[in-house]
Amino acid sequence: MNDLEEYFKHNDKRVIDKWHHYFEVYERHFSKYRNKEIVLLEIGTFQGGSLQMWKHYFGDKAKIYGIDINPDCKQVEEENIQIFIGSQSDRNFLRNVIKDMPPIDILIDDGGHTMQQQIVSFEELFDHIKPDGVYLCEDLHTSYWDTYGGGYKLPGNFIEYSKELIDKLNAWHFKKASDVDAFTKSANSMHYYDSMLVIEKRQMVKPASSRTGTIYLTESEKAEVKPKKKSLFKRIAR
């Protein structure tokens, strides 16, 4: 059990609601940021319990921000925790938020979980994440639920939308360098888990390959590829 799980298990502060398997993912991708001067943004504050958890986990140097549509969520503000009130599907709101926020190290989308909300938030906020930062969107099972605008393999759900990003990640291999977009140049890896997508950023350049070492097998020593024997039917027909 990692430190986040321990905190969650013994939590006696504000309510936290999380799937249990999330904590292993958090630890895997977030542990390197502990006790550093980081900026974390979580969309969807609920009762504010997870914001307190992040504050405890990352330490006093971390600046924690939250976004929620419910104006009552301003009540969960405390030292090093600031809340912005507005809709994550409102592009103008998100653009104004990032004007008042430093570049983000960790972005967690745990908001309304509709397809529009997840896609708009990604498109407006991904570029505001630092070049070595992390984007995490959770509760992606809603991509399969029609009540959230999803459906299995339904065009436009967030899972299908994110599959297009896999091609962008590999765009160096089927596009000219001049056609490669900002995502290709800034995304190092994509990690899918049950109901979660994590994208780790890094400034990327066109991949290169080379060869080292001494040739061991000569061309003549390479295994011969023998032609396949014709079937008995073909031999008789001939």
Query: Among all residues, which ones are annotated catalytic?
Result: 113
Residue closest to 107 by CA, chosen among 97, 116, 93, 115: 97
Helical pair 91-99 and 115-125, crossing angle rounded to 10 deg = 40
Which pair of structure tokens corresponds to residue 194? 């049950």
Residue type, 77: E
Say if residues 138 and 151 touch (Cβ distance below 8 Å). no
Backbone angles phi, psi at 41, to 5 degrees: -120, 125
Q: What angle do CA 172, 176, 181 make, to 5 degrees?
A: 65
Residue closest to 14 by CA, chosen among 88, 101, 81, 59: 81
Over the range 205-238, which residues count as b (16 or more CB within 10 Å of their CB) and which as e? eeeeeeeeeeeeeeeeeeeeeeeeeeeeeeeeee
Q: How far apart are the first and last CA of the chain?
A: 70
